[in-house]
Amino acid sequence: MTTPPLPYLDPSHLTAALRDTGYALLRPDDVALLAGCSLPDLATLVPSWDRLELDDYLKDGGRYRRRRHSCFIDDGASLVQTPHRAHWQPVEYNALHGGMHRLFAPMEAATVANPAWERLLRALGAACSAVTPAQPWFVEAHQFRIDTADGIGRPTPEGAHRDGVNFVAVIMIGRHGIKGGETRVFDADGPAGQRFTMTEPWTLLLLDDAAVIHESTPIQPLGEHGYRDTLVLTWRAGSFQGENV
């Protein structure tokens, strides 16, 4: 059985796609080009995924998710990390974990100091500003590892959702010894949608959070053990979620 090709987009159509369909999927080479660095440059960020901390907040009782979380402000001229703060979402956007101030381990200083990190975030921030000229952007960065140590791992235990921000990026970092993990993107106000499985490291899905809902299906091991690593970034105008809660 053949796998249908992924609906990759030429980066020259990125702004139009976000305005017209609410999402865009870019090839790894185009992500590196957009960030102004090479894929080997981006790969220097990857070892930090081996040092994520256990997520102790999962309400389903699972121990399949490790993560780190940090926040930044992008004013168009610079990217500045903020003092470490909890992650918060309203229950309207996350019925499972909404309303909780979840304080995760911060990203490692060496990861944030890596030149590829700032180049990637500032390039994607500029892509968001091409659609909605709202700066500064309040940016949250989440490093995730979903593993199959308990037999199944759930990338989005809250199900299909929006995040309550302006834009969301889901970047594939790596898949090892798993099946599943299909990405699903659907029109927030209609039946149109796409399903595909991101497999190549540095594949990027960029979403207009008001226009679409998204989810990733559970993963299962192909052998004894497996895992799926992703980087999720969000951009919000005005403030971080929960800043005044």
Q: pLDDT exceeding 90 applies to what percent of the chain?
A: 72
Q: Does a structural domain hold residue 15?
A: no
Closest by CA position to 57, among listed 96, 92, 85:
96
Q: Does a structural domain hold residue 165?
A: yes
Would you say 148 and 223 are in contact if contact means Cβ atoms under 8 Å apart?
no
Q: What is the pLDDT of residue 132?
A: 94
Q: Does a structural domain hold residue 134?
A: yes
Please tell me the distance from the alpha carbon of residue 73 to that of residue 240, in angstroms, as a whole number: 9
| Beta strand 79-81 pairing with 65-74 | antiparallel
Mean pLDDT of the chain: 90
CATH label of the domain that carries residue 196: 2.60.120.620
Please tell me the distance from the alpha carbon of residue 167 to that of residue 139, in angstroms, as a whole number: 10
* 137-162: average pLDDT: 89
Q: Does a structural domain hold residue 94?
A: yes
* 19-24: average pLDDT: 95
* 145-163: average pLDDT: 86
Q: Does a structural domain hold residue 230?
A: yes
- Between residues 93 and 117, the one the model is more confident about: 117
Q: What is the pLDDT of residue 90?
A: 65
Please tell me the distance from the alpha carbon of residue 139 to that of residue 176, in angstroms, as a whole number: 28
Q: Does a structural domain hold residue 189?
A: yes
Q: What is the pLDDT of residue 63?
A: 85
Would you say 98 and 197 are in contact if contact means Cβ atoms under 8 Å apart?
no
Residue 245 confidence (pLDDT) above 60: no
- Between residues 9 and 56, the one the model is more confident about: 9
Total domains in the chain come to: 1
pLDDT digits (tens, 9 = 90+) for 60-100: 777 889 999 999 999 999 999 999 999 876 666 554 555 57
Record the pTM: 0.93
Q: Which domain holds residue 42?
A: 28-237
Of 77-86, 118-127, 182-191, 224-233, minimum mean pLDDT range? 182-191
pLDDT digits (tens, 9 = 90+) for 161-216: 888 899 999 999 999 999 999 999 998 887 778 899 999 999 999 999 999 999 99
Q: What angle separates helix 115-131 from helix 28-35, to the nearest 10 degrees?
A: 90
Q: Does a structural domain hold residue 213?
A: yes
Q: Does a structural domain hold residue 23?
A: no
With cut-offs at 50, 70 and 90, classify the pLDDT of residue 1. Answer: very low
